[in-house]
């Protein structure tokens, strides 16, 4: 079968594939523990549900403008004012089918084939494939050390005549690192000076721990929004635990948002009105659910970190936010793919290999599940890897016997 050269380079999303694998194993009755997930387990906010059901009850479920319904734009404008201290106009906002679509459409809007996009590693799994979908080239910049803080000079050294954009995701998936105020200021100023687009993927910006302050990129722009190449992306998936609603948005210069809207209009039209209204409900509703999720995640992080620190030779930086620990398991196995497969096969714990994020030797371990899942998952990993483990492990009434060294 002949498919396009671009399509040939695109891989399946490894994290979505893992979700399917977990569901399949569970269906078979296997006692799987999914530490590979990327979604909080709390319930959708009641205000989101009420807004959704109100619309459904009206029976008037229609197309929306390609850039979103006015009520959602208004909610995003208020959100931008509250969290970014920047007043934007409806023409600066486009609602999308998740932050994922907002980023994809932004890349399609700014990239020509062969142009380059720079992003720090470890990076979110979708950036390389999204870039390839545009016929463009992704350039991953490795961090200097395991704090995973990128350095401006490393990014600067990779900027060439083909560089068009930089993507920054902080707090970062998979490392959990929140980039320093200094770095965010520097990268905003640098991109302005070099006339580069800067896509800020802020999807985890309210899930930050230890009382730390998340750096706001708008504080460092010198240009009015309509002359700026800063594009801020956000969404309801993580902060409101609304991954299945698929609503995200982009905020940027109106000329850019105009073109993004044209592209999205041909791709999917506006996102489902039902889901847009749910997002309006969440953004305008009672916000205690976000804080309660944040506190739960901070506690889960502490539990996972304490357990990981009992492993001999596993190195893990304390995540500042998100719901991931990115742990270096090289002492046990250099290939993260092999290690992740071993853990599924032997103890049925799902993890994401670091290689998917541009950092082999690591595993991404999610702490968005329950404390029980975290404890049992890490305990099983330890049993599988530690040669001094007892010979047997019981999972429920299943007995596992170590037949490896
Ligand atoms: C860094 C990052 N950006 C964007 C997304 C996509 O979010 P959404 O569900 O809004 O498409 C994710 C989801 O895993 C993510 O981790």
Task: Answer for the pair 294, 247: CB distance below 8 angstroms, yes or no.
Answer: no
Spacing of C-alpha 237 from chain mean position: 9
354 HSE (CA, 13 A, CB side): 20
Q: Which residue has the tokens 């670091």?
A: 354
Task: Answer for the pair 168, 187: CB distance below 8 angstroms, yes or no.
Answer: yes
Q: Verify whether ligand 1 is closer than 6 Å to residue 98 (CB atom).
A: yes
For the CA of 236, the nearest atom of ligand 1: 10
What confidence score (pLDDT) does residue 244 get?
97
Phi, psi angle pair for 201, to nearest 5°: -90, 95
State the distance from the centre of ligand 1 to the C-alpha of 92, rounded, in angstroms. 21
Helix (H/G/I), strand (E/B), else coil: 100 = helix
**H-run or E-run covering 328:** strand 324-328
State the distance from the centre of ligand 1 to the C-alpha of 234, rounded, in angstroms. 9
Under the banding of pLDDT at 50, 70 and 90, the label for residue 332 is very high
Residue 327 has pLDDT above 90, yes or no: yes
Q: Which residue has the tokens 């002359």?
A: 227
Give pLDDT tens digits for 17-68. Answer: 777 777 888 888 888 999 999 999 999 999 999 999 999 999 999 999 999 9
The radius of gyration of the chain from alpha carbons, rounded to an integer in Å, stands at 21
Give the residue whose CA is nearest to atom 14 of ligand 1: 38
- Burial of residue 136 (CB within 10 Å: 0-12, 13-18, 19+) is buried
Mean pLDDT of 253-278: 98
Going from the C-alpha of 268 to that of each of 68, 233, 260, the distances in angstroms are: 12, 18, 12
Task: Answer for the pair 321, 363: CB distance below 8 angstroms, yes or no.
Answer: no
Helix 273-284 / helix 70-84 crossing angle, nearest 10 deg: 30
Give me 61's structure tokens: 């479920």
What confidence score (pLDDT) does residue 12 get?
82
Residue 350 has pLDDT above 80, yes or no: yes
For the CA of 99, the nearest atom of ligand 1: 10
State the distance from the centre of ligand 1 to the C-alpha of 40, rounded, in angstroms. 12
- Give the whole-number percent of the chain exceeding pLDDT 90: 88
Give, as one character, the DSSP assignment of residue 321. Answer: B
Mean pLDDT of 181-207: 98
Q: Verify whether ligand 1 is closer than 6 Å to residue 38 (CB atom).
A: yes
Give pLDDT tens digits for 86-138. Answer: 999 999 999 999 999 999 999 999 999 999 999 999 999 999 999 999 999 99
State the distance from the centre of ligand 1 to the C-alpha of 311, rounded, in angstroms. 30
State the distance from the centre of ligand 1 to the C-alpha of 29, rounded, in angstroms. 30
Residue 405 has pLDDT above 80, yes or no: no
State the distance from the centre of ligand 1 to the C-alpha of 179, rounded, in angstroms. 17
For the CA of 322, the nearest atom of ligand 1: 16
**Signed CA dihedral, 98, 102, 107, 108: sign only:** positive
Q: Enter the pTM of the model.
A: 0.96
Q: How many residues does the chain have?
A: 405
Query: What value does the mean pLDDT of the chain take?
Result: 95
Q: Verify whether ligand 1 is closer than 6 Å to residue 237 (CB atom).
A: yes
Helix 371-385 / helix 288-308 crossing angle, nearest 10 deg: 20
What confidence score (pLDDT) does residue 24 get?
84
What confidence score (pLDDT) does residue 141 get?
97
Q: Verify whether ligand 1 is closer than 6 Å to residue 203 (CB atom).
A: yes
State the distance from the centre of ligand 1 to the C-alpha of 290, rounded, in angstroms. 17
For the CA of 124, the nearest atom of ligand 1: 1
What confidence score (pLDDT) does residue 69 get?
98
Contacts of 350 (CB under 8 A, 6+ apart): 18, 21, 22, 32, 33, 34, 35, 36, 37, 340, 343, 344
- Of 203, 241, 271, the residue with max ligand 1 atoms within 8 A of its CB, to mutate for a pocket test, comes to 203
Task: Answer for the pair 284, 135: CB distance below 8 angstroms, yes or no.
Answer: no
Give me 357's structure tokens: 């994020």
Instruction: Give the C-alpha separation, 348 to 371, whole Å.
Output: 17
Contacts of 287 (CB under 8 A, 6+ apart): none
For the CA of 100, the nearest atom of ligand 1: 11
Give the residue whose CA is nearest to atom 16 of ligand 1: 173
Q: Verify whether ligand 1 is closer than 6 Å to residue 239 (CB atom).
A: no
What confidence score (pLDDT) does residue 101 get?
98
CA dihedral 5, 6, 12, 16 (to 10 degrees): -160
State the distance from the centre of ligand 1 to the C-alpha of 99, rounded, in angstroms. 6
Q: Verify whether ligand 1 is closer than 6 Å to residue 170 (CB atom).
A: no
What confidence score (pLDDT) does residue 387 get?
87
Give me 276's structure tokens: 């847009």
Residue 403 has pLDDT above 90, yes or no: no
């Amino acid at each position: 079968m002949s498919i396009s050269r671009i399509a040939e380079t695109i891989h399946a999303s490894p994290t979505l594939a893992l979700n399917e694998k977990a569901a399949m194993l569970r269906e078979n009755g296997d006692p799987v523990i999914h530490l590979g997930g990327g979604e909080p387990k709390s319930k959708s906010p009641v205000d989101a549900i009420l807004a959704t059901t109100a619309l459904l009850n009206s029976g008037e479920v229609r197309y929306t403008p390609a850039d979103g319904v006015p009520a959602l734009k208004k909610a995003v404008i208020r959100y931008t004012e509250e969290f970014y201290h920047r007043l934007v106009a409806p023409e600066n906002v486009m609602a999308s089918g998740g932050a994922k679509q907002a980023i994809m459409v932004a890349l399609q809007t700014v990239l020509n084939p062969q142009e380059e996009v720079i992003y720090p590693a470890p990076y979110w799994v979708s950036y390389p494939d999204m870039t390839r979908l545009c016929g463009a080239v992704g350039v991953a910049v490795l961090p200097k050390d395991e704090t995973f803080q990128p350095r401006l000079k490393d990014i600067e050294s990779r900027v060439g005549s083909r560089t068009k954009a930089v993507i920054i995701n902080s707090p970062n998936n998979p490392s959990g690192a929140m980039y320093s105020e200094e770095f965010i200021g520097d990268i905003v100023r640098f991109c302005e000076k070099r006339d580069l687009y800067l896509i800020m993927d802020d999807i985890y910006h309210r899930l930050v721990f230890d009382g730390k302050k998340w750096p706001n990129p708008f504080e460092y722009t010198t240009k009015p929004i309509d002359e700026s190449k800063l594009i801020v992306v956000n969404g309801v998936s993580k902060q409101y635990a609304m991954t299945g609603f698929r609503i995200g948005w982009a905020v940027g210069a109106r000329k850019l948002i105009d073109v993004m809207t044209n592209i999205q209009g041909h791709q999917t039209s506006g996102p489902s009105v039902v889901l847009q209204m749910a997002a309006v409900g969440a953004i305008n509703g009672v916000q205690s659910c976000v804080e309660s999720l944040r506190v739960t995640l901070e506690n889960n992080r502490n539990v996972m970190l304490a357990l990981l620190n009992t492993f001999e030779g596993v190195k893990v930086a304390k995540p500042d936010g998100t719901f991931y620990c990115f742990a270096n398991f090289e002492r046990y196995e250099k290939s993260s793919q092999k290690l992740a497969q071993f853990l599924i096969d032997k103890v049925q714990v799902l993890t994401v290999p670091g290689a998917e994020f541009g950092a082999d030797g690591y595993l991404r371990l999610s702490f968005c599940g329950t404390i029980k899942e975290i404890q049992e998952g890490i305990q099983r990993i330890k049993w599988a890897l530690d040669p001094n483990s007892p010979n047997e492990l019981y999972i429920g009434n299943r007995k596992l016997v170590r037949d490896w060294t």
